[in-house]
Structure 1
Amino acid sequence: MSVRKVHAGSGIDRNVMLEQLRAKADRSEAVDLVVVGGGITGAGVALDAALRGFDVVLVERGDFASGTSSKSSKLVHGGLRYLQQGDVALVREALRERSILQRIAQGRVEVLPFLLPIFTKDGLFPRRIARALGSALWAYDTAGGWRIGRLHRRLRKSGVAKMAPLLNSDRIAGGYLYYDARADDARLTLDVAATAVREGALAVNYCSLTGVTVNSGAVNTVELDVDGSHISLQTRCVVNAAGVWAERVDDLVNGELAEPLPALTVRPARGVHVTIPWELVQTQVAMVLPVPGDKRSVFLIPDKPQLDGTFDVAYIGTTDTDHSGTLDDPACTSDDVEYLLRSVNAAMESSITQDHVIGVWSGLRPLVTSDDDTEGRTADVSRRHRVDMSSSGYVRVVGGKLTTYRSMAEDTLNHVERILGKRKPCSTRKTLLADRNPQLLDSIRSNASSSNLPLHSTLTETDVVYAVRHEAAIHLVDVLTRRSRLHLLHRDLAMECAEPVSFIMQRELGWSESTRQQELQSYTDLCHSEIDAMREGIQ
């Protein structure tokens, strides 16, 4: 399938977005739909809507991708374990979507080899387990794994040792190598939102939905708060793509509709990741490692490749547990860290402790549950998505995974069209996603001054300026956590960069000195809260 060629665009200029949003409201101009939630799902819905010719506004109460969409395992994959659960259809869908993403996000979806080591049991080769793994991987390839251009293969013990020299050599019997992919989840979300803007959508971060006016039983107006001001915007439809916060949006909309949606139960499942120095594990490929005493496995993934063939860091994840605390910024506790480190230490000739952890992130998966799914492990709950539609002008999409965002959005827009009428067929599978504009980057780089950023940091003044001007970054944490991944991968280095970055943002955004200091304090507080929670087990 050919990919539709399009110009690079100029990203998301937040001032322009706000100006156009206020102009629509002042003209009492009804838009076709307002999408609530600026994660990967909401951004995908906005893009599909814009491409189909709808007048669409995307609003996000925090930063784009500030929820689950920046806190995943960064994998674009079919989900090998879903085969074990018998959900072959989900695996096929995900592997098809992985292939589409490789085409439309060229250069941003990286093929990632995975090692599945086979461990001896009581010194014996586990032939039954080896056969089961081989059969599962053939099924994975057949379901669509082949689309990546490589098939799995069996490895001898020596082959495993070459790829992961610190694996416990006394316990290794062999292994398998298979292939999936990864992407920067926050960057992907931002690129999808920027593509939606390029195609005519409005996308505004730090814009909260505070109410919905219903007229004659149908959606009529949304009430928005942005930068301390109130905006009333008329709309024909509202799409709830708020993820784990979907029930909160329901509370604002559903009760007054002539045709309310059925009640929804979202079961938040916490997924925690930790970053460690790569030298502690020295694996050349990603690995799938069993969790001792649990019927789960975790990923160990090297990141930030160096010129000499080594890596800077590696991250371990993920946990999969019920979450009962606040939905905003769920903590990574000492128990979470120990769970992840125990898996690596059991498989490798290493002794990694909490003191070695240099970064953490914790996100909540919005699992859609039935009455049968309220008990038992969250790991066993389906990752399928669900779309509900009311002819009163309200559509809700929940669940799914990063890899399948595009097909989720297509499904959602097919429901929206039943309310608004059909415009154009879906074209997201052949539309190239926007990337950072090289001409704009060159222009910024040519005018860059000395910023005092650490030389050993990959973050540059050009990156920060571009993030503010063309990626709607307005807070220090936006740059350090989502426009770059510095905070996730190396918190101490991010803290070292915080002050020079704050001076660049002060210049670009016109901050007062008081505001700059507040931004620094807010970021410092975030770092200290992560450290305290990890060490003390505070939720």
Structure 2
Amino acid sequence: MSTEKNQDRPADLSPAQRVDAWRRLSEEEFDLVVIGGGVTGAGAALDAATRGLRVALVEARDFASGTSSRSSKMFHGGLRYLEQLEFGLVREALRERELSLSLLAPHLVKPLPFLFPLTKRVWERPYMAAGLFLYDRMGGAKSVPGQRHVTRAGALRIAPGLKREALIGGIRYHDTVVDDARHTLTLARTAAQYGAVVRTSTQAVGFVKDGDRVIGVKVRDSESGATATVATQSVINAAGVWTDEVQKLSGQRGHFTVRASKGVHIVIPRDRIVSETAIILRTPTSVLFVIPWETHWIIGTTDTDWNLDLAHPAATRADIDFILTRVNEELVTQLTHDDIEGVYAGLRPLLAGEDESTSALSREHAVAVVTPGLISIAGGKYTTYRVMGADAVDAAAAFIPDRVGESVTDRVPLLGADGYFALINQCEHLGQQYGLHPYRVRRLLNRYGSLLDEVLTAAVDDPSLLRPLGAAPQYLRVEVAYAAASEGALHLEDVMARRTRIAIEYSHRGVDCAREAAELMAPILGWTDEQREWEIENYCARVAAEVASQRQPDDEAADALRVAAPEARREILEPVPAPE
């Protein structure tokens, strides 16, 4: 597949663009460098670029490789935060949800009906009705319907998979669902489209200072080990659970610390639970979501403290058993370990507080000047990424000599959003044009939006790219090729875990299609036969370590197995070294 056509388009993160980005990082001076390619960092980079700033975004591994690919896949207002009286957070999140649903990313953020089963007589229905009334009035019922109450019989018609004795009635309401990894990638590509220099496998390993003032970032290529110094007026540390490590590089402690809370989800086939809607269930400390995800259900999450490896949080058998036990209390058909197709664990970067319960720590975000020229941002929730990015850039503006305008990202659709609604109405015509079933076209539009034509262009010269992957037929071969040519995928893991979600959607976790995908990526990325074989072996070793870790009884045993697997990025430094 040729990438020549794509090299002139800034948003296409091609191999050629990657080489040029390293040159630019080494030679140019920036107004702002953002460290961290999760949703907050990508959002900050887009915010800065659309204000006209010269901005660079660097990420040690891959876009969304930390927390931002391991969420509950919800772009939601946070109904349960009303109980914690965090009204401002809920109102803000609902505004952001509405923006993304209607304008910024309608191809990625989708409405999702929920059923809240009621289990207590007398008080629970009016209590939840009051909360949902607030939720709807704060903005939860603009583009989606408001709450609707149902009897037990009505609830069981909606979700026949629930036990009759598990509820006395229910309330139906709406929230939204998103492919978090694809959304974060799209943010980063949109930032590149507006002029940001965006580069993954680029690890911040130190700062350059003039007195106390940060004037540069030392970076290291996680693939080759090459180093460079990036000159800049200001830096935003948006490293999520690595926030404290990056702050240490400056020689300063920072004004807040970040605590990691582990959340585990399991993925099961769609036919194992009969329900028209998502389901939200209470746990002793939090809630459990049962989310429809194409031909699967995602069930989670747990909420436990984590003090081990930050890059590869491991799910244990105890985590999985907790989820199965809780959800089976409600289901007619009992789920077992044999039903599980995928498992993933992620870390929430919570602002450290005095309360020992991680579920009670605030999801509000904080921005602080660590030292002149260096700003840290942490906390918050996925849905409010845009506000977090804007707040961080506002703080960085104090160190940028030129006047910095106001944030405009509430009016900047993400790549693929423009024209999406019209294309959805043309699925049959597009299917005939490309020789694809309309269902397949709709699915592609919900992943790429109006970039559909660009994705499928490669298949004009090679029709075999329109075939599904042999062992992962939800995905076309062309999607793997496009990931390597235009979406910055550098390793097989990047494609299996984040450009697609094969790693969690198929029981083989991507092992059975690893060779086919690697053979598609190899000519685009210039891999030798030896490199291709190494990628396959490395990915299979990673999967084997994850599966083995999920059989362990505790965090320590699971972590030991997971961290023993080889890194795809062989030159990455773990942990980030402390300053001399």
- TM-score under structure 1 normalisation? 0.91
Equivalent residue runs for 1:465-480 within 5 Å? 465-480=481-496
Percent of aligned pairs with the same residue?
35
Q: Which of 229, 232, 251 is the aligned partner of 1:232?
A: 229
Q: Could you say which residue in structure 1 is the equivalent of 2:241?
A: 244
Q: Which of 398, 405, 418 is the aligned partner of 1:418?
A: 398
Aligned-partner residue type, residue 467 of structure 1: A
Aligned-partner residue type, residue 407 of structure 2: C
**Secondary structure in structure 2 of the residue aligned to 1:536:** coil
Q: Could you say which residue in structure 2 is the equivalent of 1:486?
A: 502
Pair 1:63–1:456, CA change in 2 (3 A) = closer
2:329 is aligned with 1:315:
no
Q: Could you say which residue in structure 1 is the equivalent of 2:429?
A: none
Contact 2:119 2:168 in 1 (8 A): yes
**Secondary structure in structure 1 of the residue aligned to 2:474:** coil
Once residues 460 and 491 of structure 1 are traced to their aligned partners in structure 2, the CA distance between those partners, rounded to angstroms, is 18
Q: Could you say which residue in structure 2 is the equivalent of 1:300?
A: 290
**Secondary structure in structure 2 of the residue aligned to 1:361:** strand
2:278 is aligned with 1:279:
no
Equivalent residue runs for 1:255-274 within 5 Å? 255=252, 262-274=254-266
**Secondary structure in structure 1 of the residue aligned to 2:165:** coil
| Superposed CA offset, 1:476-523 (max 9, x none) | 011111001111222416222111001111121121122111111121
Q: Could you say which residue in structure 2 is the equivalent of 1:440?
A: 454
Contact 1:240 1:395 in 2 (8 A): yes
Aligned-partner residue type, residue 110 of structure 1: K
**Secondary structure in structure 1 of the residue aligned to 2:291:** strand
Contact 1:75 1:183 in 2 (8 A): yes
Once residues 536 and 455 of structure 1 are traced to their aligned partners in structure 2, the CA distance between those partners, rounded to angstroms, is 28
2:348 is aligned with 1:334:
no
Once residues 296 and 22 of structure 1 are traced to their aligned partners in structure 2, the CA distance between those partners, rounded to angstroms, is 48
Q: Which of 528, 541, 547 is the aligned partner of 1:512?
A: 528
RMSD over aligned CA atoms reads 1.8
TM-superposed CA distance for 1:280, in Å, is 1.4
Once residues 370 and 300 of structure 2 are traced to their aligned partners in structure 1, the CA distance between those partners, rounded to angstroms, is 38
**Secondary structure in structure 1 of the residue aligned to 2:37:** coil
**Secondary structure in structure 1 of the residue aligned to 2:236:** strand
Once residues 17 and 78 of structure 1 are traced to their aligned partners in structure 2, the CA distance between those partners, rounded to angstroms, is 36
Equivalent residue runs for 1:175-254 within 5 Å? 175-226=170-221, 227-228=223-224, 229-254=226-251
Once residues 163 and 24 of structure 1 are traced to their aligned partners in structure 2, the CA distance between those partners, rounded to angstroms, is 54
Q: Could you say which residue in structure 2 is the equivalent of 1:161?
A: 156
Q: Could you say which residue in structure 1 is the equivalent of 2:563?
A: none
Contact 1:148 1:179 in 2 (8 A): no
Q: Could you say which residue in structure 2 is the equivalent of 1:116?
A: 116
TM-superposed CA distance for 1:33, in Å, is 1.2
2:286 is aligned with 1:325:
no
TM-superposed CA distance for 1:10, in Å, is 4.3
**Secondary structure in structure 1 of the residue aligned to 2:157:** helix
TM-superposed CA distance for 1:317, in Å, is 0.7
Contact 1:14 1:204 in 2 (8 A): no
Aligned-partner residue type, residue 104 of structure 1: L
Q: Could you say which residue in structure 2 is the equivalent of 1:309?
A: none
TM-superposed CA distance for 1:117, in Å, is 0.9
Once residues 155 and 15 of structure 1 are traced to their aligned partners in structure 2, the CA distance between those partners, rounded to angstroms, is 57
2:517 is aligned with 1:501:
yes
Aligned-partner residue type, residue 19 of structure 2: L
TM-superposed CA distance for 1:204, in Å, is 0.3
Q: Could you say which residue in structure 1 is the equivalent of 2:366?
A: 386
Contact 1:283 1:302 in 2 (8 A): no
Q: Could you say which residue in structure 1 is the equivalent of 2:337?
A: 354
Aligned-partner residue type, residue 334 of structure 2: S
Unaligned runs of 5+ in 1: 1-6, 121-125, 256-260, 305-311
Once residues 325 and 390 of structure 1 are traced to their aligned partners in structure 2, the CA distance between those partners, rounded to angstroms, is 25
2:11 is aligned with 1:16:
no
Pair 1:25–1:278, CA change in 2 (3 A) = same
Structure 1 stretch 395-404 or stretch 149-158: which is displaced more? 149-158
| Superposed CA offset, 1:191-238 (max 9, x none) | 110110000001100111111111132112211111321112211111
2:541 is aligned with 1:525:
yes
TM-superposed CA distance for 1:9, in Å, is 6.4
Contact 2:70 2:346 in 1 (8 A): yes
Contact 2:212 2:371 in 1 (8 A): no
TM-superposed CA distance for 1:34, in Å, is 0.9
Runs of 4+, deviation exceeding 4 Å: 7-10
Q: Which of 161, 165, 168 is the aligned partner of 1:170?
A: 165
**Secondary structure in structure 1 of the residue aligned to 2:29:** coil
Once residues 78 and 541 of structure 2 are traced to their aligned partners in structure 1, the CA distance between those partners, rounded to angstroms, is 36
2:385 is aligned with 1:405:
yes
TM-superposed CA distance for 1:455, in Å, is 6.8
Aligned-partner residue type, residue 106 of structure 2: Q
Pair 1:419–1:95, CA change in 2 (3 A) = same
**Secondary structure in structure 2 of the residue aligned to 1:492:** coil
Count the aligned residue pairs.
509
TM-superposed CA distance for 1:89, in Å, is 0.7
Q: Could you say which residue in structure 1 is the equivalent of 2:66?
A: 67
Q: Could you say which residue in structure 2 is the equivalent of 1:308?
A: none
2:448 is aligned with 1:458:
no
Contact 1:391 1:419 in 2 (8 A): no
Pair 1:333–1:162, CA change in 2 (3 A) = same
- TM-score under structure 2 normalisation? 0.85
Aligned-partner residue type, residue 423 of structure 1: V
Pair 1:115–1:222, CA change in 2 (3 A) = same
Pair 1:130–1:338, CA change in 2 (3 A) = same
TM-superposed CA distance for 1:106, in Å, is 2.1
Contact 2:11 2:192 in 1 (8 A): no
**Secondary structure in structure 1 of the residue aligned to 2:63:** coil
Q: Could you say which residue in structure 1 is the equivalent of 2:48?
A: 49
Contact 1:360 1:489 in 2 (8 A): no
Aligned-partner residue type, residue 273 of structure 1: H
TM-superposed CA distance for 1:449, in Å, is 5.1
Structure 1 stretch 448-457 or stretch 392-401: which is displaced more? 448-457
Structure 1 stretch 439-448 or stretch 281-290: which is displaced more? 439-448
Once residues 111 and 9 of structure 1 are traced to their aligned partners in structure 2, the CA distance between those partners, rounded to angstroms, is 31
**Secondary structure in structure 2 of the residue aligned to 1:235:** strand
Q: Which of 272, 280, 298 is the aligned partner of 1:288?
A: 280
Once residues 169 and 23 of structure 2 are traced to their aligned partners in structure 1, the CA distance between those partners, rounded to angstroms, is 62
